[in-house]
Amino acid sequence: MKKILVVGSNGQLGNCIRKIAPDFEPHYEFIFTDSQSLDITDEDQINDFFYDQKPDFCINASAYTAVDLAEKEKEKEKAFAVNTNGVGNIAKACADYKTVFIHVSTDYVFDGETNLDYSEDDFTNPIGVYGESKLKGEELALENSPKTIILRTSWLYSEFNKNFVKTMLNLFSQKDELGIVADQFGQPTNANDLAEAIMGIIENPNKTFGVFHFSNYPETTWFEFAKKIAEFSKSSVKLNALTTEQYPTPAKRPKRSTMCLDKIEKIYKIEPKHWENSLEDCVNILSN
Ligand SMILES: NC(=O)c1ccc[n+]([C@@H]2O[C@H](COP(=O)([O-])OP(=O)(O)OC[C@H]3O[C@@H](n4cnc5c(N)ncnc54)[C@H](OP(=O)(O)O)[C@@H]3O)[C@@H](O)[C@H]2O)c1
């Protein structure tokens, strides 16, 4: 039986993996840890845990994901502790125990200043602290662990934790009218689809390591995303399109961080789903 360690499993992705884990047992044994039981910033704790458990796979579902808060000087340190040094700690332990390391990163490693879809080899240039800390984490993962698979994803949501879909549903129940940014483009991704993609990679006997992009498709804007959430939840809220300038945030966001999904489809035969179908599934879960 192969052992899969899922660290940071109380987040969106962790909960989605927990949801499908029974489909893969008893062929795989899952070990779910959270920030209390296994703090990835504590190198000794990570080493002791790997020594005891010797997992075959480690999925890093943990991250510091507060994009705006990360811009504050005091928080910056936390973002780098988790998204950079914590990832380095896991990668080193994975190398010691020949564990396959599946790490999750973000489209925010790109600056968003292109009209072409980003491929895995494209030039990275994060424009915020969160993206910078995630990019440095990618580098440490690849440098320290030869069996690393990095999945960059974008605009993640699910029925769990905090995310754009849940925020919108909450606001729709309180407001008659809302302004939503309509000039930033990206690919919403249901974390349940990401969890399935990760298990698809684990199940594939031919592992190709390196960086992959995974999201739902095609691209859209936050405004169109919100409109579909309203439609699927049968909300009568009035949505108004805003420019980025009309909705300033502490962290700058890429204008267009759309990623090309061909590599994961070609190598791992993982077909991305249309974002509207995946969104409808999530809104249905949240509305019932
Ligand atoms: N959310 C998005 O829109 C988005 C977009 C692109 C990429 N991603 C990436 O996708 C991945 C999954 O994101 P998500 O949205 O599922 O994250 P999430 O819901 O914010 O969950 C992150 C989890 O990490 C845990 N964590 C934080 N510090 C930790 C530490 N030192 N040790 C162990 N666990 C720790 C948190 O635990 P506590 O709650 O106890 O702190 C939390 O349960 C991340 O790599 C993220 O960067 C996310």
Q: Which residues pair with 60 in a beta bridge?
A: 7, 103
Atom index in ligand 1 nearest the CA of residue 41 equals 31
CATH topology of domain 2-162+189-216+258-273: Rossmann fold (3.40.50)
Choice from 6, 7, 12, 158 to test ligand 1 binding pocket (greatest atom count within 8 A of CB): 12
What pTM did the predictor assign? 0.98
Q: How many CB atoms lie within 10 A of CB 236?
A: 7
Choice from 19, 62, 154 to test ligand 1 binding pocket (greatest atom count within 8 A of CB): 62
Contact 270, 199 (CB under 8 A): no
The closest of 221, 60, 66, 41 to 128, measured between CA atoms, is 66
Question: N- to C-terminal Cα distance for the chain?
Answer: 37
What are the pLDDT tens digits along the chain (288 aa)?
999 999 999 999 999 999 999 999 999 999 999 999 999 999 999 999 999 999 999 999 999 999 999 999 999 999 999 999 999 999 999 999 999 999 999 999 999 999 999 999 999 999 999 999 999 999 999 999 999 999 999 999 999 999 999 999 999 999 999 999 999 999 999 999 999 999 999 999 999 999 999 999 999 999 999 999 999 999 999 999 999 999 999 999 999 999 999 999 999 999 999 999 999 999 999 997
Instruction: Name the residue ranges covered by the structural domains of the chain.
Output: 2-162+189-216+258-273
Residues annotated catalytic, as ranges: 130
